[in-house]
Amino acid sequence: MPSPPGAPAAPSQEIEMLQAQAQGLEGQLQTINARIGELIRQRGGSGLLAVVDEEKCTACGVCQEVCPERAISVGQTAQVDRGKCSGCGRCVTECPQDALSLRKA
């Protein structure tokens, strides 16, 4: 039964509302990141490419999750698809192992 207007939502209802909002925001963030990638490619890219230090990489997958270009796959270590990488550096800033860096393409 829904709460009357002005009454606080039950915790379970609040959780459901927050989860729905989080999903909406996640979708918006993916759309924004995809557009950023498009704009970078249109202007010729950054001239940089993400490079993985395989000795430091623990294959945690953070870089794959944050890459707006979906240019990173993770097996035993992260692998960067040179054709997709825009050199935005998001993976570099998010990597907890400092296993990624940007180099001239």
pLDDT value, residue 105: 75
pLDDT score recorded for residue 42: 65
- Total of domains in the chain: 1
DSSP label at residue 102 = E
Asked if residue 5 belongs to a domain, the reply is no
- The number of helix segments (H) and strand segments (E) in the chain equals 3, 4
The sign of the torsion formed by the CA atoms of 17, 35, 62, 93 equals negative
User: pTM of the full predicted structure?
Assistant: 0.59
Residue 2 is assigned to a structural domain of this protein: no
pLDDT band at 40 (very low <50, low <70, confident <90, very high): low
> What pLDDT, on a 0 to 100 scale, did the predictor assign at position 70?
94
6 belongs to a structural domain: no
Range of the domain at 79: 11-104
Q: Which of 29-33, 34-38, 39-43, 72-76 has the lowest mean pLDDT?
A: 39-43
Of 96, 94, 24, 35, which Cα lies nearest the Cα of 65? 94
Q: What CATH code is carried by the domain that includes residue 59?
A: 3.30.70.20
